[in-house]
Amino acid sequence: MKAQRPPSVDRLLGSPLLAGLTERHGRASVVQVVREQLEAWRAAAAGGFELAPFERACRDRLEARAAPRLGPVFNLSGTVLHTNLGRASLPQEAVDAVAAVMRQPCNLEYDLARGERGDRDGPVEELLCELTGAEAATAVNNNAAAVYLMLNTLALDREVPVSRGELVEIGGAFRIPDIMQRAGARLVEVGTTNRTHRADFAQAIGPATAALMKVHASNYAIEGFTAAVPEAELAALARERGLPLIVDLGSGSLVDLSRWGLPPEPTPRQTLAQGARLVSFSGDKLLGGPQAGLIVGERELVERLDRNPLKRALRLDKMTLAALEAVLRLYRDPDRLAQRLPTLRLLTRPLAELQALAERIAPALAAALGPGASVQLRPCRSQIGSGSLPVDRLESCCIAIGAAGRASGAYPERLAAAFRALPRAVIGRIEGGELRFDLRCLEDESGFVGQLAALVV
C-alpha cells in the first residue's frame, strides 16, 4: 500500500515493528532514528512513502548503532604487540582483578592495616621494587607520560643533553624533542646521528644542565660506523658532575628474554645497575600488562616525581592498577610466566604448533572461500612490535590467500574487507598480492573457524 506522505512520528512509533524496536532500544533512540530516516526520505524525495522499507531502514540503523564500536578482533597481522590493536592482551588473573575492583568499593587509597589514607601506587611500587631492585617506583598513564613527568620534574627551564642518534619518534605524536619542549625542558643535541662519544656529553654540560638522558632506540637500529656512550660510562660522567642520568627504556622487559630464546632487551634492573637514577618503560609492551608508564629508581627522585602536581593529572585509575598488580605478581614465578602471560606465550609459541594450526584451519578457509581462492601455507616472520626488538623477527607460519588462476588486482583488498566485516573482525596483512594471516596470535581456533560461515566476499 502506498501513501504519498509519511505518517507522523507518533503514528510510526505505534507500528508493531517500531514498537518492538522501542522495547529493545528505548524510545529516545527510536525517535531519533525515525526522525533521521524521515529527513533522509525527504532529502531523497523519491516518490511515495512506503512503510515496510522505512521500518527496515530504521531497524538496520538501530542495530548498527547498538553494536559496540570498540571490541575484540583477531590479530593475524604478524605484529604481536600491535599498538592499533591494543598491544598486550591481559592474563585472566588481571581480568579478574579488574572486574573485582570495578564492581565494588576497593582500598584504592586506603591503608587497611592502619585504617587511614594510603598510597594508591603502594602495591604496584612494592612489586616493581622487588622485580627491578629499585628503591622506589611510581606509575602513570603511559611511558610518554612517564618521560614527560621525569623531564618536567627534573629539568623545568633547564637543559638536557641527548645523543642525536636517540632523538626518536615512536609513532603518533611521541617525539623526544617535542615532549622535551612541552615538558618545559631544553634539549641539547649531542654528537651526530651515528656516533656520539663521552666527550660530546662532557662538553654539553654547563650550569643550566639538569640531567643527562638516554633513550632506547626501540623501533630502529643504527648500523655500520656507529658509536654510543654505554649507560655505565654516561652514568659515571653524570655522577662526576652531580647530575642524574635518566633513561627512557621504551619497552623494557622485566626478565631476561634470552631464557626463552628471544632476542635480549635491556631490563630496568640492568639499567639501574649501570647507574641510571630513573628508568621509565611501558606497561603494555613486552611487560604484557595494561597501558601504563612505570618509573623506577632512586627514592629521592621518585618522591620528587610524586610531589609534582602533574602526577595527579597523569595518575593511574583503579582498573589499571588492579591489572598491573596482577600482571607483576606473575613475574614472581618466571618458570610459569611463558604459560600465564599472554604476550610471552605468543612470543614463544613453537613453530610446529603454528604449522599444525595452519594445517587444521586451511581447509575450513578454503571451503568458506570457494574455488575462486587459492589458500596456501607459507613460512613467515612475526614482528614483536610496539618498538620492541625492531630488527629481530620470529619464525612463524601464515596462511596466504590469493585469487586462484588469473591474478585479480582488487581481490586481496576485497577479501581483507570481508574478513574485517565478520562479527569478530580478522585483521591480516596484504603482501605480494595476497592476504596473509600470521597465525602466531590465533589462540581461539574454534571462534575463528566458527564465524567463517558468515564470510561474504
Residue of this chain nearest to ligand PLP (CB atom): 250
Binding piece for ligand PLP, criterion CB under 6 A, among 2-10, 13-21, 167-175, 319-327: 167-175
Asked if 248 is part of the footprint of ligand PLP (rule: CB under 6 A), the reply reads yes
Q: Which of 293, 297, 342, 412 binds ligand PLP (CB under 6 A)?
A: 293
Asked if 320 is part of the footprint of ligand PLP (rule: CB under 6 A), the reply reads no
- Give the residue with the Cβ less far from ligand PLP, 120 or 216: 216
- Give the residue with the Cβ less far from ligand PLP, 34 or 147: 147
Q: Which of 12, 85, 144, 295 binds ligand PLP (CB under 6 A)?
A: 144
Place of cell 618521560: 147
Q: Which of 34, 97, 215, 397 binds ligand PLP (CB under 6 A)?
A: 215
Q: Which helix (H) or strand (E) holds 152?
A: helix 143-155
DSSP 8-state assignment for residue 7: P
Binding piece for ligand PLP, criterion CB under 6 A, among 44-52, 142-150, 195-203, 259-267: 142-150
Q: How far is the CB of 18 from ligand PLP (least distance, A)?
A: 46
- Give the residue with the Cβ less far from ligand PLP, 191 or 266: 266
Q: Which of residues 31-60 bind ligand PLP (CB under 6 A)?
A: none
Asked if 218 is part of the footprint of ligand PLP (rule: CB under 6 A), the reply reads yes
Place of cell 655505565: 232
Binding piece for ligand PLP, criterion CB under 6 A, among 23-31, 213-221, 258-266, 395-403: 213-221
Residues 6+ apart with CB under 8 A from 132: 254, 267, 268, 269, 272, 279, 296
- Give the residue with the Cβ less far from ligand PLP, 125 or 166: 166
Asked if 174 is part of the footprint of ligand PLP (rule: CB under 6 A), the reply reads yes
Asked if 168 is part of the footprint of ligand PLP (rule: CB under 6 A), the reply reads yes
Q: Which of 22, 75, 79, 142 binds ligand PLP (CB under 6 A)?
A: 142
Q: How far is the CB of 297 from ligand PLP (least distance, A)?
A: 16
Q: Which of residues 120-139 bind ligand PLP (CB under 6 A)?
A: none
Q: Which of 61, 120, 214, 216 binds ligand PLP (CB under 6 A)?
A: 216
- Give the residue with the Cβ less far from ligand PLP, 6 or 250: 250
Given CA atoms 142, 146, 148, 152 in this order, what sign does their dihedral have? positive
Answer whether 81's CB lies under 8 Å from 390's CB: no
- Give the residue with the Cβ less far from ligand PLP, 147 or 361: 147
Answer whether 245's CB lies under 8 Å from 276's CB: yes
Answer whether 137's CB lies under 8 Å from 281's CB: no
Asked if 149 is part of the footprint of ligand PLP (rule: CB under 6 A), the reply reads no
- Give the residue with the Cβ less far from ligand PLP, 87 or 440: 87
Q: How far is the CB of 341 from ligand PLP (least distance, A)?
A: 18
Answer whether 245's CB lies under 8 Å from 275's CB: yes
Q: How far is the CB of 220 from ligand PLP (least distance, A)?
A: 10
Answer whether 193's CB lies under 8 Å from 222's CB: yes
Whole-angstrom distance, CA of residue 145 vs CA of residue 424: 32
Helices and strands (DSSP H and E) totals, the chain: 19, 17
- SS3 letters across 66-122: HCCCCCCCEECCCECCCHHHCCCCCCHHHHHHHHHHHHCCCCCCEECCCCEECCCCH
Q: How far is the CB of 219 from ligand PLP (least distance, A)?
A: 6
Residue 427's alpha-carbon distances to 423, 424, 439, in angstroms, are 12, 10, 11
Asked if 268 is part of the footprint of ligand PLP (rule: CB under 6 A), the reply reads no
Neighbours of 372 (CB within 10 A): 12
Residue 399's alpha-carbon distances to 421, 434, 450, in angstroms, are 19, 10, 17
Binding piece for ligand PLP, criterion CB under 6 A, among 28-36, 56-64, 184-192, 211-219: 211-219
**Single-letter amino acid, residue 204:** A
CB-count burial class (<10 Å; 0-12, 13-18, 19+) for 51: middle
Helix ranges restricted to H, 308-409: 309-314, 318-330, 334-340, 342-347, 351-369
* Binding interface with ligand PLP (CB under 6 A): 142-144, 147, 168, 170, 174, 215-216, 218, 248, 250-251, 282, 293, 387
